[in-house]
Amino acid sequence: MSTIVIGLSMGMLLFLLAAGLTLIFGMLRVINFAHGSLYMLGAYLAFQVVNITGSFWAGLIAAPIIAAIVGALMERIALRPVYNRDHVYQLLLTFGFILVIDEAVRIIWGLEYKQMYPPELFSGAIEMFGSSVPSYRLFIIGFGAAVSAGLFFMLDRSRYGMIIRAASGDPEMVRTLGINVSLVRTGVFSFGAGLAALGGAVAGPLFPIELGMGFNIIIDSFIVVIIGGLGNIRGAVLAALLIGMTRALGYSYAPSWVDFLTFILLIGTLILRPEGLFSRKGRTA
Amino acid sequence: MNAQRLMALVVAIIISVPLMFPDGQNVGLVNAILIWSIFAIGFDLVFGVAGMLSFGHAAFFGVGAYTLSLLTMRMGWDFIPALGAAGLVGGALALVFSYFAIRVSGLFFALLTLALSQLIYIMAGTKLRMLTGGVDGIAGVPRPDLFGIDFYNDSNYYFFLLTLFVLALLISGLIRISPLGQALKAIKSNEVRAEQIGFNVQRLQRSVFTISGIYAGVSGGLLASLIFYVGPQMLHWKTSGDVVIMVLLGGMGTLFGPILGVAIFEIMREWLSTQTSHWYGILGLIFIISTIAMPKGIAGMIIQLWNRIMPGSKP
């Protein structure tokens, strides 16, 4: 039972990152290498806000907002000038941002591990089906499910979602219809950055907050978006749960093979279905 | 004289510093530049000539370093055959990678090579700990023992490295003007067209990726011998990132550009790291600015300036 809870919570966490990655890719055709750094930045920001205000919830709200501003600046200053070039340049720019963000975090917070604690409300454990489960994990599952439901609602039902879907399909046409596409791009990138930081803030009480945390999770998120199909957010949900469960099962039965299992999933997908396991034609977001 | 020759001259000046100032102060830096240049020249065959962005070259570099170290230290091989083996193992691993990675193109290629090299990194740190020494790495990697020359003296080792560097540069220059190089340029500019003309695109890409892996393996082995040490951080994705930065900074797709990029990177590392411990972040900023402002790197800038100063000279 606890394996399932760990797997689901891990999957939800991965989904928060992968959703941002895949939205950004769908809209901008950019693979954001710096996504892991934004996740790490989110965790540090949450840690800082919690330290100042003493409230976990303040951190959970503030971290994504600050990271979204950072994301908007990244897009405006660096990515916008190179949209007309080969996509490789955009990827390289986001790689440059890894170095800059990591350094900034090192300057501000130093090298020591930071520790965050779950909020009062979810600090205990709950008895479920004969095994005890940390209630914070359950919170992550619920929170992740709520965020993804909200995300789907926004993408499928709201006017903004319609614009995003249309603009990732045919930006020229959307521009002709009088919508400021470059603003939409900034918005999507910034939103994705905010999601990554939200993931970081949620993960704060689970893992030690450290400089390497971004890279450890970014590879998993890449695997999720590739397995789910780049730009396919529905695929990302399933793939995130798949990877989360694989990790959790792996940790309890064969801990030293966990990384191999996920990589084998990835390589298998790329060989058999490079467009992703859950891809459907004609869907971008 | 044209811009190409100007760059060759600059490169020649940089690498001959130890000859002009034989007091041994700069020789360590130039040695590092020579070794990283071999890596960068080989990487640019894939990145600049064939247009494939690989984020996994650290794997070939690091595996070359481990191969050389293990063969010389555990198996008692001589340095030269072990260095050859380092190149072969690097190339073989690149060939294996290419069978997976060339199925996809563009950004997927970058991601897949990154994932594969990360797999090697994880393996070296955990599963192969008996062989690789885990996170501690292996210290005491030897240098060659040839003609009774003391290569443990950096000034002497410089000549050994210079020889290999010139060899690597020559081979790369030949590949660029060879039919293989021409075909790769055709693939880079339009893959579909190249395929329709009748090129076996995948086989050509596989070949150049393998060649590039050999370059990486040799340079990895050399770096291990230069610093007497090999550790898993040579396999880390940051090493792949470093070589990408070097090549892009210097100018991708040109013969001398990557070397200029390496020189600037290494001089900055040497100089900035004495000034501030945050040099890697500054490097990131410089990389971002230069990627936006000069996509063709320093080489592109030199060519542009040269054409402005000397209108009418051939590019």
DSSP chain A: -HHHHHHHHHHHHHHHHHHHHHHHHHHH----TTHHHHHHHHHHHHHHHHHHH--HHHHHHHHHHHHHHHHHHHIIIIIGGGTTS-HHHHHHHHHHHHHHHHHHHHHHH-SS-B-----GGG-SEEEETTEEEEHHHHHHHHHHHHHHHHHHHHHHHSHHHHHHHHHHH-HHHHHHTT--HHHHHHHHHHHHHHHHHHHHHHHTTTS-B-TTHHHHHHHHHHHHHHHH-TT-HHHHHHHHHHHHHHHHHHHHH-GGGHHHHHHHHHHHHHHH-TT-TT--TT---
Contact predicate B54/B46, CB 8 Å: yes
| φ and ψ at residue A127, rounded to 5 degrees | -80, 120
Interface contact A259-B122, CB threshold 8 A: yes
State how far residue B96 is from chain A, nearest Cα, in angstroms: 13
| φ and ψ at residue A283, rounded to 5 degrees | -110, 130
| φ and ψ at residue A229, rounded to 5 degrees | 95, 120
Interface contact A78-B288, CB threshold 8 A: yes
- Residue B134 is predicted with a pLDDT of 66
Neighboring chain A residues of B118 at a CB cutoff of 8 Å: 219, 263
State how far residue A12 is from chain B, nearest Cα, in angstroms: 22
Interface contact A103-B111, CB threshold 8 A: no
User: Which helix (H) or strand (E) element contains residue B29?
Assistant: helix B27-44
Rounded mean pLDDT of A127-134? 71
User: Is the confidence at residue A63, as pLDDT, over 90?
Assistant: no
Q: What is the DSSP string of B37-80?
A: HHHHHHHHIIIIIS----S-HHHHHHHHHHHHHHHHHTS---HH
**Which tops the pLDDT comparison, A68 or A125?**
A68
Instruction: State whether residue A268 sits within 8 Å of chain B by CB.
Output: no
State how far residue B263 is from chain A, nearest Cα, in angstroms: 19
What SS3 state is found at B125?
helix
State how far residue B276 is from chain A, nearest Cα, in angstroms: 11
**Tens digit of pLDDT for each residue in A151-202?**
888 888 888 888 888 887 787 888 888 888 888 888 888 988 998 988 888 8
Domain assignment present for A285: no
Candidates A102, A103, A217, A243, partner chain B, best to mutate (most B CBs within 10 A): A103
**CB nearest B283 (choices: A81, A99, A270):** A99
Contact predicate B127/B232, CB 8 Å: no
User: Is the confidence at residue A282, as pLDDT, over 50?
Assistant: no
Instruction: Give me the sign of the Cα torsion angle B131, B137, B140, B142.
Output: positive
State how far residue B155 is from chain A, nearest Cα, in angstroms: 34
Per the structure block, which two tokens stand in for B280?
């890697």
Tell me if the pTM is above 0.90: no
Interface contact B291-A92, CB threshold 8 A: yes
- Residue A18 is predicted with a pLDDT of 86
Query: Residue A97 belongs to what domain range?
Result: 2-272
State the residue for tokens 């020229």. Answer: A172
- Residue B313 is predicted with a pLDDT of 54
- Residue B315 is predicted with a pLDDT of 47
Interface contact B115-A31, CB threshold 8 A: no
**Which tops the pLDDT comparison, A196 or A285?**
A196
Per the structure block, which two tokens stand in for B256?
């001398």
Domain assignment present for A173: yes
Per the structure block, which two tokens stand in for B171?
């081979």
- Count of A–B CB contacts within 8 Å? 99
Least Cα distance to B42 among B187, B195, B216 occurs for B216
User: Is the confidence at residue A259, as pLDDT, over 80?
Assistant: no
**CB nearest A107 (choices: B237, B278, B295):** B278
Instruction: State whether residue A223 sits within 8 Å of chain B by CB.
Output: yes
Rounded mean pLDDT of A77-100? 82
Between strands A131-134 and B138-139, the pairing is: unpaired
User: Which helix (H) or strand (E) element contains residue B138?
Assistant: strand B138-139
Work out the pLDDT band at A283, boundaries 50, 70, 90.
Answer: very low
Least Cα distance to A64 among A143, A9, A126, A132 occurs for A143
Residues of chain B that touch chain A, judged by Cβ-Cβ distance less than 8 Å: 53, 100, 103-104, 106-108, 110-112, 114-116, 118-119, 122, 126-127, 237, 241, 244-245, 248, 278, 280-285, 287-288, 291-292, 295
**CB nearest A89 (choices: B104, B283, B291):** B291
Instruction: State whether residue A103 sits within 8 Å of chain B by CB.
Output: yes
Least Cα distance to A101 among A74, A76, A72, A64 occurs for A74
- Residue A1 is predicted with a pLDDT of 67
Helix-helix angle A87-109:A35-53, to 10 degrees: 30
Neighboring chain A residues of B127 at a CB cutoff of 8 Å: 256
In angstroms, what CA-CA distances link A61 with A24, A56, A121, A160? 21, 9, 17, 21
**CA gap A262, B309 in Å, rounded:** 56
Interface contact B288-A96, CB threshold 8 A: yes
C-alpha neighbours within 13 Å on the C-beta side of residue B117: 30
Interface contact B110-A31, CB threshold 8 A: yes
**Which tops the pLDDT comparison, B98 or A130?**
B98
Interface contact B115-A222, CB threshold 8 A: yes
- Residue A258 is predicted with a pLDDT of 76
CB atoms within 10 A of CB B62: 31
Name the residue in chain B with its Cα closest to that of A88. B107
* End-to-end alpha carbon distance in chain B: 10
Number of domains in chain A: 1
**CB nearest B284 (choices: A87, A91, A99):** A99
**CA gap A90, A73 in Å, rounded:** 15
Neighboring chain A residues of B104 at a CB cutoff of 8 Å: 270, 274
Neighboring chain A residues of B53 at a CB cutoff of 8 Å: 88, 91-92
| φ and ψ at residue A132, rounded to 5 degrees | -95, 135
Domain assignment present for A281: no
Least Cα distance to B117 among A160, A100, A266, A139 occurs for A266
CB atoms within 10 A of CB B308: 8
CB atoms within 10 A of CB B259: 31
| φ and ψ at residue A133, rounded to 5 degrees | -125, 130
User: Is the confidence at residue A241, as pLDDT, over 50?
Assistant: yes
Q: So what's the ipTM on this one?
A: 0.77
Which CATH number does the domain housing residue A107 bear? 1.10.3470
**CA gap B92, A23 in Å, rounded:** 37
What SS3 state is found at B202?
helix
**Which tops the pLDDT comparison, A125 or A81?**
A81
Least Cα distance to A278 among A217, A245, A230 occurs for A230
Flag residues of chain B having pLDDT under 50.
Answer: 315
Interface contact A270-B104, CB threshold 8 A: yes
Domain assignment present for A222: yes
Most confident of A46-55, A98-107, A155-164, B207-216: B207-216
Domain assignment present for A75: yes
Domain assignment present for A283: no
Interface contact B291-A226, CB threshold 8 A: no
Domain assignment present for A98: yes
CB atoms within 10 A of CB A108: 11
Domain assignment present for A279: no
State how far residue B288 is from chain A, nearest Cα, in angstroms: 6
Contact predicate A40/A114, CB 8 Å: no
State the residue for tokens 């720019």. Answer: A93
